[in-house]
Amino acid sequence: MTTATGGMERAGNAELARTLVGLGEKIIRYGLVVILLWVGALKFTAYEAEAIQGLVANSPLLSWGYSVMSVRSFAALIGLIEITSGLLIATRPVAPKLSAIGSFGVIIMALITLTFVFTTPGVWQPGYGFPFPSPMPGQFLAKDILLLGAGVWTAGEALRAAGTEAGHTRPHASAL
């Protein structure tokens, strides 16, 4: 292979890498937005309110909600928080600070949801136990690990963009 060919190949790979990173960033951010809007809207339905009742009722962090609201009302409140977080994250091109706030909402939601692994009966497959999650609710809860990661990434990226917009430049982590 000649140097010119190798250089063109590296340039092509670098361009493909930039394209994939850019596409991945958009899929992570706006995929998270779609999930939050969609799942948040579902919280206003009776079947979704009933579906999360066992998770919420067994959570020391959320069970209080049923003492002050009905199952449907508390589910709607959770849905409203999810929708608001999704809309805030979507503002990233015009308001990165607001987007970061929405991302912090997702981080909190995902961390709370992940506590259900410890508080909800039936998370581990009967007869197998840890580390074998049951199909429902165990495997259902596993997705929140990725939602947590997406929330952390979108928060960091939005905060970086907000700092850049304000005229502040921060050194890259590898430079520290």
Q: What residue numbers bound the domain in which 34 lies?
A: 13-166
Helix (H) / strand (E) element for 54: namely helix 46-57
> How many Cα neighbours within 13 Å face the side chain of 144?
18
In a domain, 87, yes or no: yes
Q: How crowded is residue 101: how many other Cβ atoms within 10 Å of its Cβ?
A: 18
In a domain, 5, yes or no: no
User: Is the pLDDT higher at 174 or at 128?
Assistant: 128
How many residues are given for the chain? 176
In a domain, 4, yes or no: no
State how far the Cα of 57 lies from the Cα of 41, in Å rounded to an integer: 21
In a domain, 37, yes or no: yes
Query: Which pTM value belongs to this model?
Result: 0.85
Q: What percent of the chain has pLDDT over 90?
A: 81
Residue 175 — pLDDT band, cuts 50, 70, 90? very low
Instruction: Express each pLDDT in 51-64 by its tens digit.
Output: 999 999 999 999 99
State how far the Cα of 40 lies from the Cα of 34, in Å rounded to an integer: 10
In a domain, 6, yes or no: no
State how far the Cα of 102 lies from the Cα of 110, in Å rounded to an integer: 12
Instruction: Express each pLDDT in 86-132 by its tens digit.
Output: 999 999 999 999 999 999 999 999 999 999 999 999 999 999 988 89
Quick check: 68 pLDDT over 80? yes
**Contact in structure between 132 and 69 (CB atoms under 8 Å):** no
In a domain, 3, yes or no: no
In a domain, 60, yes or no: yes
The DSSP 8-state label assigned to residue 117 in this structure reads: H
**Contact in structure between 66 and 119 (CB atoms under 8 Å):** no
Burial category of 161 from C-beta neighbours within 10 Å (exposed 0-12, middle 13-18, buried 19 and up):
middle
In this structure, of 46-50, 74-78, 126-130, the range with the lowest mean pLDDT score is 126-130
Residue 129 pLDDT: 87
**Contact in structure between 121 and 53 (CB atoms under 8 Å):** no
In a domain, 172, yes or no: no
Residue 12 pLDDT: 86
Q: Domain total for the chain?
A: 1
State how far the Cα of 146 lies from the Cα of 56, in Å rounded to an integer: 20
State how far the Cα of 98 lies from the Cα of 162, in Å rounded to an integer: 9
State how far the Cα of 176 lies from the Cα of 170, in Å rounded to an integer: 10
Residue 133 pLDDT: 93
Q: What values do phi and psi take at 133, rounded to 5? A: -70, 145
